[in-house]
């Protein structure tokens, strides 16, 4: 039998009874394989809320990288400006 299956609980025997392959009109439960379940949970976690600690660390690292690059660029520009000042007057 191919999975996913549409199953329902038989009220007389309290047993699961397969109603056939899953369609959009299944009124019972859907039986899927563990691999399908793992895949669906991966997709659900993709669109879930991030862990606050991980989100904070990621934001801090990204902001720190941008700010660090700006500080390094300013320092390099200051050193380069010391050797070649823009405002200097060239004597002829």
Cβ atoms of 29 and 3 closer than 8 Å: no
pTM of the predicted model as reported, rounded to 2 decimal places: 0.45
What are the residue ranges of helices labelled H in the chain? 34-46, 52-83
Token duo for residue 7: 């199953």
How confident is the chain (92 residues) per 10-residue block, as mean pLDDT? 79 87 82 81 79 94 98 92 68 55
Surface-to-core class of residue 62, CB atoms within 10 Å of its CB (0-12 exposed, 13-18 middle, 19+ buried): exposed
For residue 31, the model assigns a pLDDT of 85
For residue 58, the model assigns a pLDDT of 95
- Note the Cα 66 to chain centre separation in Å: 21
Separation CA 64–CA 72 (nearest Å): 12
Query: Where do the structural domains in the chain lie, given as residue ranges?
Result: 5-46, 49-86
For residue 90, the model assigns a pLDDT of 61
């Amino acid at each position: 039998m191919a999975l996913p299956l549409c199953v329902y609980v038989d009220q007389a025997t309290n047993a699961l009874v397969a109603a056939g392959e899953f369609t959009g009109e299944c009124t019972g439960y859907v039986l899927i394989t563990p691999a399908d379940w793992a895949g669906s949970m991966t997709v659900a976690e993709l669109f879930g809320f991030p862990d606050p600690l991980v989100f904070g660390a990621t934001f801090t690292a990204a902001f720190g990288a941008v700010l660090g690059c700006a500080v390094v660029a300013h320092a390099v520009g200051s050193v380069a400006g010391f050797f070649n000042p823009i405002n200097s007057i060239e004597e002829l």
